Amino acid sequence: MNERFPIPIPYPDELLYGVISRYHLRANNTSPKCTFKEVYGTKNVIPTIDLPSHIEAFSRRSMWHEMTADDWIKDHTFYPYYSPFLPKDRANRLKQLMKGPDGSGIHALVGITASTVDRSGDLRFCSQCYKEDIHQFGEPYWHRIHQLPGVWVCPVHRDVLHRMTYPVSDRYGLTVLPISKKMFGSVPIVANLSGKTINQLSDIARDIQALMQTNDLPVLYESRNIFLPRLRKQGYVTAGGRIRQQKLEEQFVICYGRELLEMLGSLPYGKDYTWLNLATRSARRAIHPLRQMLLIRFLYGSFNGFLEQSEVDDAPFGKGPWPCLNKAAEHYRTSIITDLRITRCTDTGRPVGTFTCECGFAYSRRGPDQSEEDKYRRGRIKSFGPVWMDKLQVHLREGISYRSMAALLGVDTNTVMKYAKGTVTTRNLEPALLESPRKSFKPVRSKGSKHTRVDWGKRDLELSWIVEEACRRMLSDRKNKPVRITISAIGKRIGKLSLLEKQKQKLPVTMAVLSGYLESTSQFQIRRVRWAAEQMAGEWPIKRWKLVKKAGLRPGYAQEVSDEIDRCIGQGAAINRIASAEVTPLWLH
């Protein structure tokens, strides 16, 4: 270390690369390798703008700044830009590589090497920031925010950034931002932008700045689970929980415009495996932070809006304790419930909260709560509990009317009559989903009503023929994509789903026939592979990855499925060789 020229104190949001460049200038070293030897302890370093290595060694040589390696990584590198969108173990591994002496695998670990998002090597600056830095600090410096992917406009001044054209060092050197504009040349990184595009780029830059300034962010790698409540709310999720990918992509492109998305390298291309599809599916690979930020802005309006809304989505019923709505209890409407279980409504996707009190009373309602009064709203009663039952017995002994008891107990008259007459016992109470006070009780069929006896033997035999015919048709269908043969699939096709699910014991012949056709996961995957191979019969050679994609297989399929893939590929090669042998004589004439 050059004792006459200590490592400069870093400026706010200055690149670590910039700190070393300023040291290089002050030390008046003729070669960057001399500077690297002094600040890193070795000459074998390539100065990296985004995710540098050797930071542990660098921090030991600047201990008088009281900054640890973690401080340098967090405040002066791109680490906070990438780490929230990586699995936690990979983010920790990235930090260790940046601290250590070998940074050769850093960019591959993050996924930058394979990304189609532009990774510019140009150093950028804002003309307004340049002037203000000279006025405030006496010299300009390289701002980290200006170098991040997706930042084309200064988030503070909303001006298009400039890049230096000369003097610029190669990848082994250090480029300093001179104190006078007469000493270097620069041009805007993009020209002829409309006011709308500049505003959009400015908003995106501000979101990225908010990302860099936010501490203790949650891991955003599992983006599907995080975005799902918002996607449901905006109508991009079906009742079955599937993402409406086509609708999502259409609205996403309309929101930003094709020109801007192409400019940012983030236009969703293809059909099934676009980055937008992957971002809203179960995580199997990391999505570039810029693209995740674009999706966040599309769904929440801004990154800060995402942070605020995430808290609401995580607590759709507010913070507990919640009120007990048992009118028979002395603590009625008192907030004493701490047991809350949240599920999702299969029809609407909205959260459903089940609140259980210590008195045994349990109720549910759909969320999220929109006002303070919503916490006193009750949907379905799941359990009455002993306190309510005891109160019912008291009122029965008092001899008051059912209507009056219903008003006192917070239920409808039919519910009171059921329990008063003993049609529902306390031991059956807990697991039963009881009717809401707003719904009437269906009367039981009287003994004198007519009832036609079913000939289950005849029905079973007739149904078995229908089921077998449906199974054979599904197996023989070569035009359409295969559908797995299950009880549900067959039942829906023949319009007898309820019968097959609820009357299995009365349909032995039908169930025996159906069991011979039911497919395991591997059997269905093998049938899909064969179907895909038939669809690709005109292609040669058949590429394995293409066959797997056509068959719709996910990683982790069984060995027998893999063997079938190999067999189909080999069969395709054999057919091609036979065809080639037949055609060859024609080319000899």
What distance in Å separates the CA atoms of residue 75 and residue 14, rounded to the nearest whole number?
Answer: 8
| pLDDT bracket for residue 256 (50, 70, 90) | very high
Give the SS3 label for residue 362. Answer: strand
- In this prediction, residue 50 carries a pLDDT of 94
Q: Which of 12-21, 122-131, 227-236, 446-455 has the lowest mean pLDDT?
A: 446-455
- In this prediction, residue 314 carries a pLDDT of 57
On the CB side of 33, CA atoms within 13 Å amount to 2
Distance between terminal CA atoms of the chain? Answer: 80
Kindly state the average pLDDT of the residues 284-296.
90
| pLDDT bracket for residue 172 (50, 70, 90) | confident
188: number of Cβ within 10 Å: 15
Kindly state the average pLDDT of the residues 510-536.
89
| pLDDT bracket for residue 430 (50, 70, 90) | very low
Cα angle for residues 251, 253, 259 (degrees, 5° grid): 155
pLDDT in tens, 486-516: 999 998 888 888 888 888 888 888 888 888 8
437 pLDDT more than 50: no
Instruction: Give whole-number Cα distances, 174 to 96, 171, 225, in Å.
Output: 24, 8, 43
Kindly state the average pLDDT of the residues 161-184.
89
- In this prediction, residue 579 carries a pLDDT of 45
Higher pLDDT, 237 or 453: 237
- In this prediction, residue 433 carries a pLDDT of 34
pLDDT in tens, 393-409: 999 888 888 899 999 99
85: number of Cβ within 10 Å: 26
Sort strands 335-337 and 322-323 into parallel, antiparallel or unpaired: antiparallel
What distance in Å separates the CA atoms of residue 222 and residue 218, rounded to the nearest whole number?
Answer: 10
- In this prediction, residue 452 carries a pLDDT of 60
H or E element that contains 508 = helix 508-515
Q: Which of 38-42, 201-205, 308-312, 477-481 has the lowest mean pLDDT?
A: 308-312
Q: Which of 157, 129, 150 is nearest to 14 (CA)?
A: 129
For residue 424, what are the contacts with CB-CB under 8 A and spacing of at least 6? 418, 432
Query: In this prediction, what percent of the chain has a pLDDT beyond 90?
Result: 45
pLDDT in tens, 327-342: 999 999 999 998 888 8
H or E element that contains 406 = helix 402-409
What distance in Å separates the CA atoms of residue 130 and residue 363, rounded to the nearest whole number?
Answer: 62
154 pLDDT more than 50: yes
Higher pLDDT, 533 or 578: 533
Dihedral, 227, 228, 233, 238 alpha carbons, nearest 10: 140
Instruction: Give whole-number Cα distances, 371 to 233, 320, 368, 588, in Å.
Output: 17, 15, 9, 84
- In this prediction, residue 343 carries a pLDDT of 81
Instruction: Give whole-number Cα distances, 499 to 330, 460, 471, 511, in Å.
Output: 47, 10, 17, 11
Dihedral, 457, 459, 462, 464 alpha carbons, nearest 10: -80
Dihedral, 334, 340, 346, 351 alpha carbons, nearest 10: 70
Q: Both tokens of residue 301? A: 């309006």
Residue linked to tokens 């319009």: 495
- In this prediction, residue 262 carries a pLDDT of 93
What distance in Å separates the CA atoms of residue 342 and residue 367, rounded to the nearest whole number?
Answer: 10
- In this prediction, residue 572 carries a pLDDT of 61
Instruction: Give whole-number Cα distances, 270 to 274, 278, 295, in Å.
Output: 6, 12, 18
pLDDT in tens, 293-320: 999 999 999 999 988 876 555 577 888 8
Kindly state the average pLDDT of the residues 128-140.
96
Arithmetic mean of pLDDT over the chain: 85
518 pLDDT more than 70: yes
24, 176 contact by CB (below 8 A): yes
Instruction: Give whole-number Cα distances, 277 to 269, 274, 556, in Å.
Output: 10, 5, 20
On the CB side of 83, CA atoms within 13 Å amount to 25
Query: In this prediction, what percent of the chain has a pLDDT beyond 70?
Result: 88
- In this prediction, residue 56 carries a pLDDT of 94
pTM across the whole model: 0.58
- In this prediction, residue 450 carries a pLDDT of 52
207 pLDDT more than 90: yes
- Which backbone phi and psi does 238 adopt, to 5 degrees? -80, 170
pLDDT in tens, 370-390: 788 889 999 999 999 999 999
Higher pLDDT, 300 or 115: 300
Give the SS3 label for residue 165. Answer: strand
Helix segments in 149-243, DSSP class H: 195-213, 223-233
424, 418 contact by CB (below 8 A): yes
- In this prediction, residue 161 carries a pLDDT of 97
547 pLDDT more than 80: yes
DSSP tag of 537: T
| pLDDT bracket for residue 580 (50, 70, 90) | very low
Q: Which of 242-251, 268-277, 568-577 has the lowest mean pLDDT?
A: 568-577
Kindly state the average pLDDT of the residues 167-173.
83
- In this prediction, residue 123 carries a pLDDT of 93
